[in-house]
Amino acid sequence: MTLRWRLWLAQAPLALALVLVGVVAVVTLNRLGHSGQRILQDNYRSVLATQRMTEQLERMDSAALFIVAGERERGEAQQAAQRAVLESELAVQEGNVTEPGEAEATRGLRAAWARYRTVYDGFLEARTPEDRRTAYFVSVEPAFRDVKDAASAILALNQDAMVHKSEALRRQSDRVNTLMVLAVLAAFAVGLVSSTSLTHRALRPVSVLSQAVRRLGRGDYEVRAVVEGADEIAQLGQDFNSMAEALQQYRRSSLGELLQAQAASQAAIDSLPDPVVVFGADGALLNVNRSAEGVLRLSLEAGGDVLGRVVPEAREVLERVRGHVLGGKGAYQPRGYEEAVRVALPDGDRWLLPRGSPVYGETGEVVGATVILQDVTRLRRFDELKNDLVATVAHEFRTPLTSLRMAVHLVTEGVVGPVTEKQADLLFAAREDCERLQGIVDDLLDLSRIQAGQLQLEVRSVSAEELVDATLDAQRSQADERGVRLTKRVGLEVESVDVDPDRLELVLGNLVGNGVKHTPAGGEVEVRVSREGTRVRFEVRDTGEGIAPEQQARIFEKFYRAPGAPAGGAGLGLSIARDIVQAHGGELGVVSAPGQGSTFWFTLPQQAAAAEPT
């Protein structure tokens, strides 16, 4: 017998018990349904008919009172309308006699109605008001009460019958409930015991096979599963034994190759001049190369908290990159040389730039992380030389440029003599170029101070709205020339911010100025200020052409200018703005899409830190 048939057979007792319970439930519910239906058929019609007859009788009595009161036409019309209805309801009652004594009561009702109708006709034939009054109180009113009492007797008889039948139905329902509970419990117990026994016998070979699998997983390649029979489990046991045999042979034949491959991979990473650190999925240290052992003082044989013996700066970088990669965020790429960490060695300081890559398993999940600390000492020194050169050139440009601007200004204003219109045009163009060159020199000097750590923040509490107004006023003339609207939206919850106002105006001015330059005529540049928890968020939104995704990652780099950008500037504004925001303890970013405008945002802590050199 196959395993499938065994499992089906194990479920048969439960299925049979379910069928039996279902049959009992159907039969019992059918009986209860018929009992309730009989109550409606036998008694509800009579109750409804007698209630309607009582209502019609009362209306005929009201009609008689109208006639006595002198409204004969109204009373005759009303009583005539009720007779046919009364006859119809009485006929219904006569056709629905179901209870003992109900036939006699119905005949009494018919006789009382006949007498009432006769005296009512005599009442209608009375000519004088006094005769009608006497006929009503002597004949009509007693006959009315006799008919009403007869109808009430039938109503009470059927209502009592309904109560007795409902009580009997309730008792029957209680018995049915008890029977159903007992039947379900008995069927469940019998079916469960039978199914459990049969299932246990059918799955006993699975337990044997499971134990063999666990032993194989622990490395016992000599284990074999002994399963008798000819079903699927027995076949699975044979296949397992074949697999275990193949694994045992493979282990014997491949162990040397695996050790050789491991030695080759270790030699490969040892040959790299940069420190390489490999972490497992749980963050534990798995492997290091010789450079990491020498530079970071890492050793797998040391035991304990291996990273705890690394210098704090390098340890923080390793933990951050490890968390980034193992957190499922992909490879880690540094944003620039400013992320390099300094490590002091006997032969001099070395600057290491971190990079991280995930290690994927066979199913695509991240099973580890490889961190490489690239030695950028020489590149950083070249960068420092470049920054020194830029700062020196900018500083040397400043004095002659100031003299040149003053000379051009004096000549343009006619201080040294009149100038022709053509000369004035050339001088105005020269003055604009001098102003642009002065802005570039100022940016270069600011950049050099930031990189040299000489930027000092003079933090104080200022009004957020006044800060925005000052920025927009400085950019309004340029916006008017280009036909761009400048608007603001400052949240009421933001009254003041703790910042260096001069530096923050430089950041806002750069963002607003860029928005004006890249927004066509008729567009809008809006500055928004709102609160986000413990931080204040500034946004500069424009309706310009937007920024391509591949350029958004580079626009904050020094000296980078996007293709097609307007002439002027050295590509330093956004880089300086980012450094100033970071010096305040905040972040700066952009959200943009081609053709949908751009939104540059930055956040600042509500209580800025004390002014410190950056």
Q: Give the CATH number of the domain where residue 544 resides.
A: 3.30.565.10
- Is 8 a domain residue? no
Two structure tokens written together for 146: 């006799």
- Is 221 a domain residue? no
Do 529 and 553 lie in one domain? The reply is yes
Q: How far from the centroid of its chain's Cα atoms is residue 103's Cα?
A: 73
Q: Kindly report the length of the chain.
A: 614
* 238 Cβ neighbours under 8 A, 6+ residues apart: 227
Do 353 and 389 lie in one domain? The reply is no
Two structure tokens written together for 3: 């395993």
Do 361 and 388 lie in one domain? The reply is no
> What's the domain count of the chain?
4
**Please, are residues 560 and 512 in contact by the beta-carbon 8 Å criterion?**
no
pLDDT for residue 1:
55
Q: Give the CATH number of the domain where residue 320 resides.
A: 3.30.450.20
Average pLDDT for runs of 10 along the chain of length 614: 63 73 72 59 79 87 86 85 85 84 86 88 85 86 88 85 81 79 78 69 71 78 72 74 76 62 73 83 79 76 67 81 85 76 77 86 81 78 61 63 72 75 77 70 62 69 91 90 92 87 88 90 93 91 88 74 59 79 88 90 70 37
Do 91 and 135 lie in one domain? The reply is yes
pLDDT for residue 243:
82
pLDDT for residue 57:
86
pLDDT for residue 101:
85
- Is 187 a domain residue? yes
Two structure tokens written together for 203: 């799955």
- Is 265 a domain residue? no
**β-sheet bridge partners, residue 489:** 528
Instruction: Read off the DSSP letter of residue 332.
Output: B
**Around Cβ 22, how many Cβ atoms within 10 Å?**
11
One-letter amino acid for residue 89 of the chain = E
pLDDT for residue 336:
65
**β-sheet bridge partners, residue 463:** 496
Do 464 and 599 lie in one domain? The reply is yes
pLDDT for residue 569:
55
**Please, are residues 115 and 82 in contact by the beta-carbon 8 Å criterion?**
no
Instruction: Read off the DSSP letter of residue 565.
Output: P
pLDDT for residue 571:
66
Last residue within a domain, chosen from 451, 483, 503: 451
- Is 73 a domain residue? yes
pLDDT for residue 49:
83
What radius of gyration, in Å, describes the C-alpha atoms of the chain?
A: 50
What is the C-alpha to C-alpha distance for residues 258 and 558, in angstroms, rounded to an integer? Answer: 49
Do 585 and 476 lie in one domain? The reply is yes
Task: Compute the CA torsion angle 306, 307, 308, 314 (nearest 10 deg).
Answer: 150
Do 181 and 330 lie in one domain? The reply is no
What is the C-alpha to C-alpha distance for residues 608 and 585, in angstroms, rounded to an integer? Answer: 7
Do 465 and 445 lie in one domain? The reply is no
- Is 1 a domain residue? no
Q: Which of 448, 581, 440 is nearest to 505 (CA)?
A: 581
Do 395 and 338 lie in one domain? The reply is no
What is the C-alpha to C-alpha distance for residues 136 and 124, in angstroms, rounded to an integer? Answer: 10
Two structure tokens written together for 214: 């666990």
Burial of 354 (0-12, 13-18, 19+ CB in 10 A): buried
Bridge pairing between strands 485-490 and 524-532: parallel
Instruction: Give me the domain span that covers residue 149.
Output: 14-194
Q: Helix, strand, or coil here: 557?
A: coil
Do 102 and 79 lie in one domain? The reply is yes
Q: Which of 563, 557, 566, 559 is nearest to 590 (CA)?
A: 557
The position carrying tokens 């626009």 is: 555
- Is 99 a domain residue? yes
Last residue within a domain, chosen from 400, 420, 451: 451
pLDDT for residue 614:
37
Do 320 and 282 lie in one domain? The reply is yes
Do 364 and 434 lie in one domain? The reply is no
pLDDT for residue 473:
92
Q: Which of 576, 350, 605, 557 is nearest to 445 (CA)?
A: 576
Q: Give the CATH number of the domain where residue 441 resides.
A: 1.10.287.130
Burial of 465 (0-12, 13-18, 19+ CB in 10 A): middle
- Is 230 a domain residue? no
Sign of CA dihedral 175, 180, 183, 184: negative
Last residue within a domain, chosen from 316, 348, 375: 375
Q: Give the CATH number of the domain where residue 167 resides.
A: 1.20.120
